[in-house]
Structures are given as structure tokens and as C-alpha cells.
Chains A and B, each alone.
Chain A
């Protein structure tokens, strides 16, 4: 097999997978896990969530080994079911996925406005939100890519730093879990509930699958995802517990959106705060940038495939970037961010993202089962062992977690109910209806127009005119 001049190594696959998941919103999600369970025991749910995600990563690995392409999720669903399902589910996943930017930009702006006051907290948040989204939008518009080496350095530095800080905090504060073990909150039901939210900590690990085209050994993608989940499990388990222990009761009760900054300040003073602010910016920029690259290319490809209006396939004349898609997504991200700024319901987006991931993992497991039945002899460089056991477990677990999320209520640290999670379910159902109707009613119109254009077009190939 001919190899490429530039191929990705396992190191970069791991750093990309883990880097996608490491975002500013993860600290808050981690604290939410600690709030549902008992702070010192949050690591149990984080490890459980990691274990569940590991099962799902096996499904992604098998599918990627079958179809190693950036068209990934759409192609898996299309071949397992049909094109309509692929379009509806693909749009549902990608558009709802990008709404995570709303929570991320809100939290990053909270970090910055909480640290440098300019005019007023509300205006400062608005200002930083816009700056953040426009900055990442501009990077994408110019076609500036974060190289593998930069991604490696950033991700491994962040992971190493978080682990070191955690051990420092344990050493300083001491750790005692005996009281936590006796808490009435420490129940199996709460462990599972917290694990449902804990899935958010791993959101994006699977977005490394489009890189299959940049490797020569497709197994690297699967291996990379699994190592990334392992690294994230260890890092989050340590850091969330350390952060929980390092915050004062007043800080926990305040429902702060920037727990990691307060934790850094408590531990290291202003220097620590600055380091964590820089880390937050880097984590948010790398996650959002990668998300925007993937989403804008998805929109571009959908437009080329006559699923979205053709205007989304316009490329910039100098940078060859799909600027209309990027612009549309930037506007969408700003709109979601403003909505969160006005309502303050960033936890709504975090829960929606966790539920969305659960749903997609169920769909992927279904694809594995269906494709094995449809194409039993098609070459797979990786096949999940133990027959259908792991895909079925993935379906049962993640469907259960999604139901768990939807039937729960979101509370703050004081136990006050913030909102009932069925609102998250209702919003997602409404959006699913929208993408389904779009697929059934609008897409055929675009396809028909494209077919008519094709009919009038004369073929250029000699002998086939």
C-alpha cells in the first residue's frame, strides 16, 4: 500500500481526541457530577462514564475501520439504514453539537470578565463572548489550521498540568473519603445519574474519526480514542475531586460558573489564576476551532450534495474555505451565546450535549449491528470482540443514561431546583422533528432541482454526450 508523505501518528490521534474533549465547560460539568454525587467520590461516576464511553469508542472504531472517511457518521448511518435517516440524524447531531459553543463561550467570557473588569460584568461577558467567537471564526475563515504538533503540545501540557495540580492539592488539603462514603447522597442511583452528566466530560472524543484519512493504519483511530478516554478519565477523576476539595463552601454555594479559576486562586493566588485563564482560553479555542472546522466542512459537503442550499458550498476565492458555512455557524454560535447570556441557563446546554452524545452512541451501536448483518464479509481491520454483546450493552447503557438525564431535575449545590430536564428532551424532540421535516420536505426539492440541472447539462466525456 502506498503511504502518504505526511501521516498522523498515534500521539496526535490521542491528543486530538482528548483535546476535543478538554474544554472550559468540562470543569463546570465536573462540578455538576460532584454535586449530584458526593464531591470526594465524583471520580467513581467519572470513571463509570469513561468506561461507558470506552464501549462506544469500540463501536466507532469498528465503523471507522469499515468506512475510514471524514464523511464518517453520515456514511455509517446511510449504509446501515438509508440516506434520509443519515441526513436527518447527521444534521441533528452537528447543529445541536455546535450549540455547545454557546455554553463554552459563556463560561470563557465568565472567566475573563471575572478576572478583568472593564465596564460592567454583563457587558464584559458580552464583549468577550463576541471576541472569542469572532476570533475562532476568523481563524477558520483564513484557513489557519492547528497543526498536529501544536495540538500535541497543548493537549499533553494541559493534561500534565491538571494532574500535577491535583496531586499538589491533595498533598496540601489531605484527602478523607470516609465521611463521603457515609453520605446519604452516595447511592447507586446517584452514581449512574452523575455518570450521565459525566458523559459530557468526554464529548468530542469521537470527532477524531475524520482523521482516519490521514493515517495509513485505521486501527490507530480506535486505539487513539481508547487511550484518550483513559487519559481523560484519570485527569478528570483527579482534578474534579481536587477542585471540589479546593473550593470553599461559600464558593461552592455561589453556583459559580468558573470553579477552576477560583480553585487556582485559592491554591496559587493571582499567578495560578492567570495560568488557568490562559489554559481556559487555549482549551476553548482549540475545541471550538476543531468543532467549527468539522461543522463547516459538513455543511459544505451537505450543500455540495444538494441537501443544504448551494450557497453554503461557496468557497473563499483566496483561502479556499467555505466562508458562507463558517459565517452562518458563527452567527448561530453568537445567537446561542446571547441566549445563554440572557437566560444564564448554560447547564441546559451541557445536559443537552450529554444527552445528544448518548443518543448518537446508541445510533452508532445500532449501525454496528445493522452493518454486520448487511455486510458480514466486508473487510474490517477492527471488529469488536464478543459478538453483539458490546454494541447491545452500549445501546442499553446510553439509552438508559439519556432517559436518566431527561427524567431528572437540575439542582444547584444548595439543592435548589434550577429546571426540570424534560425541557431538554422537549427541545431536542422539537429539533429532531425539524430536521426530519427538513429531510422529508425540503431536501427532495433541492435534489429535484439538481437532477433537472443535470438533465440539461451536456456530458463532456467523448462518446458519452
Chain B
């Protein structure tokens, strides 16, 4: 079970990886979304604000009305943000659940695929 701090640390690293990746920034340049990540085992919720492909903020708690809600185990959230987990596989196995349009699901997965292509 990952703690809130562990997930926030992972999110901070994820933010740096995403924002420093030119290829990703180019691909997501029109993508502005508010995301909620829900750790179903601990009940923790995290809010990520993406504006034109740049992650502006990550914070604990559910802020605003999201465009995308990702729900999974806290460990999976943590591993996903550290790039240690293939979100597509977990999604296809039903371990990660996403509430969003199909386009957003692909774009979300694209982040991991581009930052860590060998995952």
C-alpha cells in the first residue's frame, strides 16, 4: 500500500519527466485536462492539472470537476508514475479503471509510452 506522500513524490517526478519531454509536449500541445487519480485501497485522491500538454500542478485531494478519473490500487498508481508499470496492460486486465473518452485514454497511455518506451 503506497502512502499519500509516496504518490505525491511519484507525481512530482512524473511532472518533471513529462514537462521535459519535447516529443510528448509536441504531441499533447492541444491537450488540456483536469485529472483525478483515485487510490481505491486508501481512498486518497490526487488532482493533476494539464494545460496544453504541460503538467501545471499536482496536489492531494479532489479539486474541481475532472475530465478524466483514473481509479486503481495505490501501489499501481505509484508504480505507474515512476514508469515501472505498463498502464495499458493493467487497463486491459481491469486493474486500472478510467472514466474518460477513448481519445483521452489513448493520450493518457501515450504519456508513459513516450517517456518510458521500453515499459
Instruction: List residues of chain A with CB under 8 Å of any chain B CB.
Output: 2-6, 67-71, 74-75, 78-79, 143, 145, 210, 213-214, 216, 293-294, 297, 300-301, 304-306, 313, 315-322, 453, 457, 459-462, 464
Write 6 A-B pairs (CB below 8 A) sorted by A numbering: A2-B45, A143-B103, A297-B102, A305-B86, A315-B106, A316-B27
Chain B residues positioned under 8 Å from A315 (CB to CB)? 27, 106, 110, 113-114
Q: From residue B27, how far is it (CB to closest CB) to chain A in Å? A: 5
Known: A5-B34, A322-B106. 5 other contacts (CB 8 A): A4-B66, A68-B97, A75-B93, A293-B102, A320-B110
Q: Which residue of B lies closest to A143 (CB)?
A: B103
With A and B bound together, what is the CA distance between A6 and B99 in angstroms?
Answer: 10
Smallest CB-CB separation from A457: which chain B residue?
A: B118
| B45 CB to nearest chain A CB (Å) | 8
What residues on B are CB-neighbors of A210 within 8 Å?
102
Q: Which one of A4, A70, A461 contacts B82 once the chains associate, using CB atoms below 8 Å?
A: A461
- Taking CB atoms, residues of chain A closer than 8 Å to B113 are 304, 313, 315
Interface pair B118/A459, CB less than 8 Å apart = no
Interchain residue pairs A-B with the least CB separation, the first 9: A304-B88, A461-B82, A460-B82, A5-B65, A71-B92, A459-B84, A320-B27, A5-B67, A75-B94
For window 79-119 of B, CB contacts with A under 8 Å fall at: 79, 82-84, 86, 88-89, 91-94, 97-103, 105-107, 109-110, 113-114, 118-119
B72 located at the interface, meaning its Cβ lies under 8 Å from any Cβ of chain A in the complex: no
Query: How many Å lie between the Cα of A291 and that of B10 in the bound state?
Result: 37
Q: Which of B94, B103, B114 contacts A67 (CB 8 A)?
A: B94
Q: A462–B101 Cα gap in the complex (Å)?
A: 33
- A-B contacts at CB below 8 angstroms, number: 109
B66: contacting residue among A2, A304, A461, CB under 8 A? A2
Interface size range of chain B in the complex: 35 or more
Kindly state the separation between the CA atoms of A313 and B112 in the bound complex, as whole angstroms.
Answer: 12
The answer to whether B100 and A4 touch across the interface, beta carbons within 8 angstroms, is yes
* B-side contacts of A74, CB under 8 Å: 92
Docked Cα-Cα span, A459 to B86, in Å, equals 12
If the complex has contacts A4-B65, A69-B97, A71-B92, are A304 and B109 also in contact, measured as CB distance less than 8 A?
yes
**How far, in angstroms, from A214 to B69 measured CA to CA in the complex?**
10
Question: Nearest-CB distance from A144 to chain B (Å)?
Answer: 10
Given contacts A213-B100, A461-B82, contact A4 B69 (CB under 8 A): yes
Query: Would A460 and B110 count as touching, CB distance under 8 A?
Result: no
Instruction: Report whether B92 and A5 are in contact in the complex, using a CB–CB cutoff of 8 Å.
Output: no
By secondary structure, the A interface counts as: loop
Q: Which residue of B lies closest to A306 (CB)?
A: B89
CB contact between A6 and one of B45, B67, B107 (< 8 Å): that residue:
B67
- Chain A contacts of B55 at CB under 8 A? none
Query: A5: which of B9, B62, B66, B102 is its contact (CB, 8 Å)?
Result: B66
Let me know if B10 and A214 touch, CB within 8 A: no
In angstroms, how far is the closest chain B Cβ from the Cβ of A325? 11
Which residue of A71, A293, A319 is within 8 Å of B94 (Cβ)? A71
Let me know if B103 and A145 touch, CB within 8 A: yes
Are A69 and B66 also in contact (CB < 8 A) when A315-B27, A464-B84 are? no
B107 nearest in chain A by CB position? A320
- 0/1 interface trace, chain B 53-84, chain A, CB 8 Å (1 if under): 00000000010011111000000001100111
Does A213 lie within 8 Å of B84, measured CB to CB? no
- A317–B92 contact, CB under 8 A? no
Q: Which residue of A2, A214, A294, A462 is within 8 Å of B62 (Cβ)?
A: A2
The answer to whether A4 and B67 have CB atoms under 8 Å apart is yes
> Which residues of chain B in 5-45 are interfacial with respect to chain A, using CB atoms and an 8 Å cutoff?
9-10, 13, 23, 26-28, 31, 34, 36, 45
Distance, CA A297 to CA B65, complexed state (A): 27
Report the minimum CB–CB distance from B111 to chain A (whole Å): 10
Shortest distance in angstroms between A244's beta carbon and chain B's nearest beta carbon?
38
With a CB–CB cut-off of 8 A, which chain A residues contact B107? 320
Look across to chain A and name the residue whose beta carbon is closest to the beta carbon of B27: A320
Q: In the complex, how many angstroms separate the beta carbon of B29 from the nearest chain A beta carbon?
A: 8
* Chain B: CB-nearest residue to A465: B84
Q: Which of A67, A145, A301 has the most CB of B within 10 A?
A: A301
Give Cα A3 to B98, complex, Å. 12
CB–CB A2/B69 < 8 A: yes
